C-alpha cells in the first residue's frame, strides 16, 4: 500500500511548521536559513525558515519564527509536546547564502553568514546534533523536506543539479 502525502506545506520567510508523516515541506532560501528536524522512529518533524539572527525585542510576548532564537524555542516546544528529546532528531541546516557578493567587502560578515552562525550556535547549545548542512556560498536554494522518510532534496542555483541532503544525486 503506497503512502500518500496529504499536506504540501510551503514556508515563506519567517514561518515554522511541525507535523507528521503526511507532510512535505518546501521553501526557497537566500540569506535566510532553514532547519529541518526529523524523528526517524516516529516519522515526524518540522522546518523553520528564519531570516534574522538578532534577538527579538524583549517586550514581545509571542514567539516569532522570523528570529533564529524563537524558531529554536518553537522546535523545543513541539519536541516537549511529543515527549521526545533534541538528540533523537536528525537535524539538517541549509542556506545562509550571500545574495549580493559584489556589495560585500572582503572581510565583512554578510547577513547569510550571521544567520548560519547563530543557527549552528543555538542548535549546539540546545542539545541538537547537526547531521548534514549545505551552507553559505552565493545564491539561492530550494528545499523539499518529506516527513515520511526524512529526505531533504536541495536545488542550488550554482550547481544546477538536485542534491539529496547536500550530495549530488
Considering the entire predicted model, what is its pTM?
0.87
> CA 101: distance to chain centroid?
22
**7-168, what's its fold?**
60s Ribosomal Protein L30; Chain: A; (3.30.1330)
Beta-carbon contacts of residue 1 (< 8 Å; ≥ 6 apart): none
Question: 107-144: b or e for each residue (b if 16 or more CB lie within 10 Å)?
Answer: eeebbbbbbbbbbbebbeeeebeeebbbbebeebbebe
> What is the Cα–Cα distance from 68 to 156, expressed in whole angstroms?
22
What lies within 8 Å, CB to CB, of 88 at 6+ separation is 39, 41
What the block records as the C-alpha cell of 49 is: 525558515
Per-residue pLDDT reduced to its tens digit, 101-129: 666 566 666 888 899 999 999 999 999 99
Q: How confident is the model at residue 100 (pLDDT cuts 50, 70, 90)?
A: confident
Ranges of each domain in the chain? 7-168
Amino acid at each position: 500500500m503506497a503512502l500518500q502525502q496529504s499536506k504540501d506545506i510551503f514556508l515563506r520567510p519567517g514561518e515554522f511548521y511541525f507535523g507528521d508523516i503526511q507532510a512535505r515541506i518546501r521553501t526557497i532560501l537566500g540569506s535566510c536559513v532553514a532547519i529541518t528536524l526529523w524523528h526517524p522512529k516516529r516519522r515526524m518533524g518540522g522546518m523553520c525558515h528564519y531570516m534574522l539572527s538578532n534577538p527579538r525585542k524583549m517586550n514581545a510576548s509571542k514567539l516569532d519564527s522570523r528570529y533564529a532564537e524563537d524558531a529554536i524555542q518553537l522546535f523545543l516546544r513541539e519536541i516537549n509536546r511529543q515527549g521526545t528529546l533534541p538528540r533523537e532528531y536528525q537535524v539538517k541546516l541549509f542556506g545562509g547564502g550571500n545574495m549580493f557578493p559584489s556589495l560585500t567587502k572582503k572581510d565583512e560578515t554578510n547577513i547569510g553568514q550571521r544567520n548560519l552562525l547563530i543557527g549552528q550556535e543555538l542548535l549546539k547549545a540546545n542539545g541538537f546534533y547537526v547531521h548534514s548542512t549545505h551552507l553559505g556560498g552565493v545564491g539561492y536554494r530550494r528545499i523539499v523536506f518529506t516527513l515520511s522518510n526524512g529526505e531533504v532534496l536541495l536545488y542550488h542555483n550554482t550547481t544546477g543539479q538536485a542534491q539529496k541532503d547536500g550530495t549530488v544525486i
